Amino acid sequence: MSDKAENKKWYVVRAVSGQENKIKAYIENEISRLGLEDFVDQVLVPTERVVQIRKGKKVHKEKVFFPGYIMVQANLAGEVPHIIKSITNVIGFLGETKGGDPVPLRQSEVNRMLGKVDELAIEADANVAIPFTKGETVKVIDGPFNGFDGTIEKINEEKRKLEVMVKIFGRKTPLELSYMQVEKL
């Protein structure tokens, strides 16, 4: 950690949603073009890895965690905030008052956001969020009961399994299915 890193704080830049990674690249290019790397440590687009089922295959996708927000660790001295704000598709800093300075994130917020990112990196595979609720109707998309609809009776978060009540030949039958084998209706 250099001395300059000591005065660096995390700020949130509001950006056009869907363009986060492009804007991150623009910010980094502009900072290095102007030789201001000493002032800006990191530009981060918080993402999480999500697993989706496409045509029966697991697909890992990076999903932007906070659409429209980019985190910047910087010492916003002199021209730096102005340079960042003048980048295409940047709306401004979060928390700045009109004409006032951008407000840095509190350390607890930073830890939460970065912690989330680290946790997600560690649990990338395990981290298929629990997108289901008890009582919800789902469609089975995999296995012998593909195409059947059922109601979620139980959710086992640890095993990432659902107990789904499916009507088979007019009788309700409980099936144990993984999150991957069903989709919301």
| DSSP letters spanning 75-115 | ---TTHHHHHHTSTTEEEETTPPTTSPPPPPPHHHHHHHHH
At 112-156, the pLDDT tens digits run 776 665 555 544 444 455 678 899 999 988 887 888 899 999 988
Q: Which CATH architecture has domain 137-184?
A: Roll (2.30)
Least Cα distance to 38 among 89, 70, 11, 78 occurs for 78
Q: What is the pLDDT of residue 72?
A: 94
* All structural domains of the chain with their residue ranges: 3-122, 137-184
Compute CA distances 143 → 41, 57, 131, 132, 176, whole Å.
Answer: 48, 13, 20, 19, 11
Distance CA 184, CA 124 (A): 22
Q: What is the pLDDT of residue 2?
A: 44
Global model pTM greater than 0.75: no
Other CB atoms closer than 10 Å to residue 104's CB: what's the count? 19
Do 137-184 and 3-122 have the same topology in CATH? no
Distance CA 40, CA 63 (A): 24
For the chain, 185 residues long, give each residue's pLDDT as a single digit of tens.
Answer: 444 446 799 999 999 999 999 999 999 999 999 999 999 999 999 887 778 777 888 887 778 888 899 999 999 988 999 999 999 999 999 876 666 778 888 887 787 776 665 555 544 444 455 678 899 999 988 887 888 899 999 988 878 889 999 987 888 888 898 888 888 88
Distance CA 100, CA 104 (A): 12
- Class of the 3-122 domain? alpha beta
Answer for the pair 36, 83: CB distance below 8 angstroms, yes or no: yes
Q: What is the pLDDT of residue 30?
A: 96
Q: What is the pLDDT of residue 159?
A: 80
To the nearest 10°, the Cα dihedral for 150, 155, 157, 162?
-30
